[in-house]
Amino acid sequence: MNKFRFGKYGETDVMSQLIGENYPALLVMSRFGIALGFGEKTIGDVCRENSVDVHTFLAIINLIANENRIPPSFETNISIESLIDYLHNSHDFFLNYRLPEIRKKLLKVLNKDEDDLNKAVLGYFDKFVSEVRKHMMNENRKVFPYVKSLQKAENKNKYSLVFSKPHEQIEMRLAEFKNILIKYYPAQSTHEINDVLFDIFNCEKDLASHNAVEEYLFLPAIVELENKIRKLS
């Protein structure tokens, strides 16, 4: 039986209820490697069975479920390792699944008589993807190793962390692309073009919540870690 629930999710809430109320939670689960088929189990039990840190899982879920973005109070229980794994998998999702899938669908719906225009449309999309790739790979290659070195207290050189501006630009580019397709692309209104647009709308939302996790959970955790190290040295 579903319980009456208001406010944040906790470990004793039932996993299937969470998904029913907030289907984007499915993305969070797959990024943590949690499979479906959990029956009536609670969030806490499912996490423990999959060796996922419950606090980190809930912090992300509660951030994503909260559409009005009440900034979360600082989460001290978060596991930075889990968060890095999550973000890594999330980057992988965008770069190796979501964005290539959108491109594939886009190719299918492009109007065959519009060769020049199609080049420009794909050019725009490819440029957008390469910007996203550059940003995410930089995090994978520079930011995550830096944070890991901080944890081992090996690193005392401060690395400058800039998230919010590139994030805003990425989100704006995708929104602009979508608007251009809607307003100017001479496509028939078909199920296929709707499908691409729905994917882009969803991708916009996913990117925004991915970015929110980095800005509201990851960044404050790093700052806290840096402060701790500065006090020790």
Partner 1 sequence: MNHLVKIAILEPSIIIRSGIVSVLHRMNGVRMDIFEIVDIAQLKSSLNREKPDLLIINPSIWNIFSLQQLKKEVANPQMKCVALQNSLTDNITLKAYDEIISIYDSAEQISEKLTKLIFEPEKENKPESLTFREKEIIACVIKGLTNKQIADKLHLSSHTVISHRRNISTKLQIHSTAGLTIYAIVNKLVNLDEI
Binding site for partner 1 (CB under 8 A): 68-71, 116-117, 119-121, 123-124, 127, 172-173, 176-177, 179-180, 184-186
- For residue 97, the minimal CB distance to partner 1 (Å) is 24
Round to whole Å and give the CA distance between 53 and 77. Answer: 9
- For residue 78, the minimal CB distance to partner 1 (Å) is 19
Strand, coil or helix: what is 14?
A: strand
CB 204 within 8 A of CB 171: yes
- For residue 117, the minimal CB distance to partner 1 (Å) is 5
Cβ nearer to partner 1, comparing 119 with 142: 119
> Among residues 81, 61, 52, which one has the least CA distance to residue 151?
81
- For residue 8, the minimal CB distance to partner 1 (Å) is 13
Cβ nearer to partner 1, comparing 47 with 106: 106
Cβ nearer to partner 1, comparing 26 with 180: 180
- For residue 74, the minimal CB distance to partner 1 (Å) is 11
Cβ nearer to partner 1, comparing 134 with 142: 134
CB 78 within 8 A of CB 59: yes
Cβ nearer to partner 1, comparing 14 with 207: 207
CB 207 within 8 A of CB 173: no
CB 105 within 8 A of CB 192: yes
CB 84 within 8 A of CB 147: yes
